[in-house]
Structure 1
């Protein structure tokens, strides 16, 4: 059976073929839309995961900078100041035990050089940022340092230069020991606080890294879902 519309020859077989072609085009078009949507979603997820990685790396870099430039530096400066303070004491003790030696003055000068190193390290530490608790503890150390040097080391230096055995003995045996014990206790408390701050920073950074990792893994699993 043939049907004529103007000059068009439209048979049932031709109509079926046209209909099938239209259905095939529709399926291809639908598949193309789905592929484009999937590719767009994958691209968006890649961008999101990349941003998560960038933010995580920046946070980690900030933590490393804080640990290296502040936490580690402050610990080093405090330890250096205390070490040189101890060397001042032991060096002057050596002069006190040989008060009649010819090089007493040179030993005293050497001890004062270590004192200068101790003061420089402490001043460098004081320039670093601190928490409120650390400020309080560092102020206690500063007070103990001032007392140790002013009421312990300075009188011993004067007695050594004057070669006064009684004054030297009093400074070495009576005055300086409790002052140095008090200074050491204050320094120990400060260093313990610094260690606790570093541990807290590490724990915080580790927890944040785990959050970023879970977020990235969750974003990566979305296409599978």
Structure 2
């Protein structure tokens, strides 16, 4: 297993539709293992193959859920059908997302509360489940990656303008940018937390599971 660099907004592979996997061979199996390794090193809740420069329809996840779905999993050639997002503006404190390919930022985005996921795994087994809440958000986020969209492409006018300014200020939006999980400083600030300063009695287990989703104490699906 190998940790791979994560490409950043502007790399062409992130902005085009990924190709279906035609055959699951040893190369695909190794790719999925590398995705798990990279996702863990990046402290992400999800990762799509295009984010490591591979334009194939695969994504992984590592996220607790209340839907009876394994915390860690993957799906090949997925189809995700999701409910319509509720009307109204997103709440910046409760509906913010982040993305490993727009590292260090989070912006509010309204998503559907339910997502039906189908596909297969590396052993040819059927994958089929319904995700709700934040797990549904994660599934939609990763599926977007396979269709050439980043979450920032779906922001409303106000937040989309802020996201574009951030991308421009970082010098992204063009090919050639990436970061290396486990080597580069964590862009979401996890490296800045001193575990010796954390009182275990003050930690909610659910917050630990969702730490990668809550920069600045706001929910944020990150993949």
**Fold match (TM-score > 0.5):** no
TM bucket, shorter chain: under 0.3
Higher share in strand: 2
* Structure ranking higher in helix proportion: 1
Determine which structure has more spread, i.e. the larger CA radius of gyration: 1
Q: Give the structure-2-normalised TM-score.
A: 0.21
